[in-house]
Each structure stands twice: as C-alpha cells, then as structure tokens.
C-alpha cells in the first residue's frame, strides 16, 4: 500500500460492482483515505473506504493519465489534512467536529446517509439526518460494522449544509 501513497488508484471489490478511485492519502489496517476522483478529471472531497473485500488496486495507464491531468490542474493531494484512521468511532468524531457533516453508505451505493453525529459508541451511530432540501429532520441509527464508505467535504453535502446553516439564520 505504501507504494501507492499520493498516487491515483482505483480499488476493485470482490463483493460490489462499483469501484472507488482517488489519490491515496493515508491508510490503516481497516481504512483507506482517498482524495475522491468520482469521474474523469474531477476531485470532489474525500472518501474513507473500509479495507474489506478488496480484490485489486490499480495504478495503471488510465490512473496514471488521470493523475497527470489532475496534477496539471493542481488538484493533487496535499498533506494538510490528517484524519485519525485507527477506528470508525474516532473517524466520525473527527469529521463531525472538523466539517460538521458527512455521508456514508453500506455495501450498496443505492442509498446514502447524510447527517451529523448525535450519538456514537462502539456498536452504532445515531445521526441527525439532513434531507434533500437541507433540513435537519430526524434521528436515524446504524450499525457501525455495516458502514463501508464515509464521504466528506464533497460538493453535495457541503451544499446541503450551506442551505441548513442559512435556514437557521433566518
């Protein structure tokens, strides 16, 4: 994994169709931090991926070309942001404190769960859910061991937070 630090990689999983792509920023036994490359030559926030069921990691011609373009656009990694990757509880606490909002999904990417931490322990997280219109609506609880990917600082959730913050000022 060290060989891929600060390089653009694509991760293929044995149990899901979707792949994850981005600059490898950091990793631990259980988690991988990527500067997210969702498509083409775009960087949009960060992803923390559970290091589970990984079939392969690629840094081949496609990734090398995309990396070159992103670096020319000055969208490469920088080492200013450190996220504690020791365990999921500390990850969520840090992101919640620093950014105030995140989203996560489980094995399937068909549903995302955006919000902020209300309560967390070693088994489950309870979030304040934010809806599609930027309203904090309800509490929802999830088992931590089912969470596969955590995203933060992307355009979608930053936009929802902006709307929520502006509504609270009125």
Say yes or no to pLDDT of 6 above 70: yes
Asked if residues 149 and 47 have their Cβ atoms less than 8 Å apart, the reply is yes
Whether the predicted pLDDT of 116 surpasses 90: yes
The pTM is what?
A: 0.93
pLDDT higher than 80, residue 95: yes
| pLDDT reported for residue 20 | 92
Q: What pLDDT does 107 receive?
A: 75
The tens digit of pLDDT for each residue in 70-93 reads 999 999 988 666 799 999 999 999
- Rounded CA-CA distance 103/116 in Å is 8
* DSSP class of 143: E
Mean pLDDT of the chain: 93
Q: Among all chains, which residue has been given the structure tokens 């931090």?
A: 33
More confident residue, 117 or 165: 117
**Nearest CA to 90 among 153, 11, 33?**
33
**What was the pLDDT predicted at 16?**
81
Give the CA dihedral 38, 92, 144, 7, nearest 10 degrees. Answer: 40
Whether residue 141 has pLDDT greater than 90: yes
CA distance 32 to 26: 6
Q: Token pair 């950014």 is at which residue? A: 99
**DSSP 8-class letter at 4:** G
Total count of residues recorded for the chain? 170
**pLDDT exceeding 90 applies to what percent of the chain?**
82
């Amino acid at each position: 994994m060290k060989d891929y630090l600060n390089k653009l990689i694509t991760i293929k999983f044995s149990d899901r169709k979707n792949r994850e792509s981005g600059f490898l920023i950091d990793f631990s036994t259980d988690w991988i931090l990527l500067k997210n490359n969702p498509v083409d030559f775009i960087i949009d926030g960060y992803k923390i991926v559970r290091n589970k069921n990984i079939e392969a990691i690629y840094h081949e011609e496609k990734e090398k070309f995309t990396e070159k373009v992103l670096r020319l656009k000055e969208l490469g990694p920088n080492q200013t942001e450190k996220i504690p990757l020791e365990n999921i509880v500390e990850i969520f606490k840090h992101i919640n404190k620093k950014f105030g909002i995140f989203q996560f999904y489980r094995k399937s990417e068909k549903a995302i769960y955006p919000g902020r931490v209300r309560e967390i322990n070693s088994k489950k997280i309870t979030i304040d859910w934010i809806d599609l219109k930027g309203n904090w609506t309800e509490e929802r609880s999830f088992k931590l061991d089912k969470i596969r990917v955590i995203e933060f600082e992307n355009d979608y959730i930053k936009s929802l937070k902006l709307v929520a913050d502006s509504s609270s000022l009125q």
